[in-house]
A and B are shown apart, each in its own frame.
Chain A
Amino acid sequence: MKESSVIDKPNTDVYSQDIRPCPRVTLSAQGPTGSTADSAYYGQEQKFVADGKRFTAEVKALYFLPPGWDSYDALPIDHRAIIEALEATHYLVNYPKLSLPLVVPTKAGGVQLEWHTTEIDLEIAIDPVGTCEVSVEHYASGDCVEWTDTRPSALFKLVKFLNTHSVV
């Protein structure tokens, strides 16, 4: 295999707006196998970068929502909810089938993380004090459950659910 070219610094164009140290992005010159499967590999990398840009833009936008941002009476997003959402994301993106979530502000000043895949529908609504309301639906089994708990406990239960349903 040919020597890969490695970008050994963060891609500042993509990550300069991020609020946490970013991971290094390694882009191979030829791909991992040198075969036609490399196009899928590059597709995954491109998706990773695009997801990163989208996620960063959504998180950044949370900080600038004024009161009434929903055109009705929504509260500005509490920075504690944003931190909690980032912590939850950091915890869950270790699971390969969960890419970076969609980020949605909630009227009460919280943040909702969402994954809408062909396998599961998962939403985690996080309020400013870190309480997580989890709603997960696994299409293949038809299982649909909800619970509310502190972030660590809520995520622990979620991972248990995902493992049980072979999602991770």
Chain B
Amino acid sequence: MTQQVYVDDKAIPDEDSLWRRVKSINFDEALNRKRPSTAEFEDSVDGSPMSCVWTEFHLASGLTMDDFLTGHERFGVVSFPVALARQLGFSIQKDPLPECPAHVLVAGNKTKSARKRLSRECKVLIETSFG
């Protein structure tokens, strides 16, 4: 079985950001604010990389946050910079879907420390809580 190679697409600028839907956002007493769980930044069960949406392209396509959450109304949304993903050694590759042309895959080893940084440095745009 050959392993798929994901190439970082430099057409996605460092200063842009990525959105990801999340299920669990909780209060961190040390940070004194809410943040998503590190479990929210794992690759797919089938081994394919973590799905996100390239925010600027999504909005430029005339789509909105509501479109991103259509069918997923109880989810929260977090945002993190493309530059942070690259700092963590991840590659960002376009993977347009019919319903989501700005869909991207964030490939790379999702170590605990990398997931912790994403969890702590992302911005919570829409809150949610599990349970």
Q: Tell me the A residues contacting B by CB distance below 8 Å.
A: 54, 57-61, 69-75, 102-108, 112, 114, 116-118, 121, 123, 125, 133, 135, 139, 146
Contacts and interface: CB of A to CB of B under 8 A. Distances in A.
Interface of B: 21, 23-24, 26-31, 37-40, 42, 44-46, 51, 71-72, 75, 112, 116, 130-131
Nearest to B71: A71
Contacts of B130: 58, 61, 103-105
Nearest to B34: A116
28 contacts: A58-B130, A60-B131, A70-B21, A70-B40, A71-B71, A71-B72, A71-B75, A72-B44, A72-B51, A73-B46, A75-B45, A102-B26, A104-B23, A104-B39, A104-B130, A106-B39, A108-B42, A112-B38, A114-B26, A114-B37, A116-B28, A117-B29, A118-B30, A123-B38, A123-B112, A125-B39, A133-B112, A146-B112
Residue from the set B46, B51, B112 with the largest chain A CB neighbour count within 10 Å: B112
Contact of A69 (B23, B38, B39, B131): B23
Given A60-B131, A135-B116, 10 more contacts: A71-B72, A73-B45, A105-B24, A105-B130, A116-B26, A116-B31, A121-B30, A135-B38, A139-B30, A146-B112
B70 to A, nearest CB: 11
The 5 closest A-B pairs by CB, nearest first: A58-B131, A116-B28, A57-B131, A104-B37, A61-B131
Nearest to A67: B45
A12 B27 CA distance: 27
Contacts of A60: 131
B36 to A, nearest CB: 9
Contacts of A59: 131
B39 A107 contact: yes
A74 B28 CA distance: 25
A108 to B, nearest CB: 6
Contacts of B28: 116, 121
Contacts of A139: 30
Contacts of A121: 28, 30, 116
Contacts of B38: 112, 123, 135
A55 B29 CA distance: 17
A69 B130 CA distance: 11
A135 B112 CA distance: 8
Contacts of A108: 42, 45
Given A61-B130, A71-B21, A112 B39 contact: yes
Residue from the set B26, B39, B51, B112 with the largest chain A CB neighbour count within 10 Å: B39
Nearest to B69: A71
A73 B30 contact: no
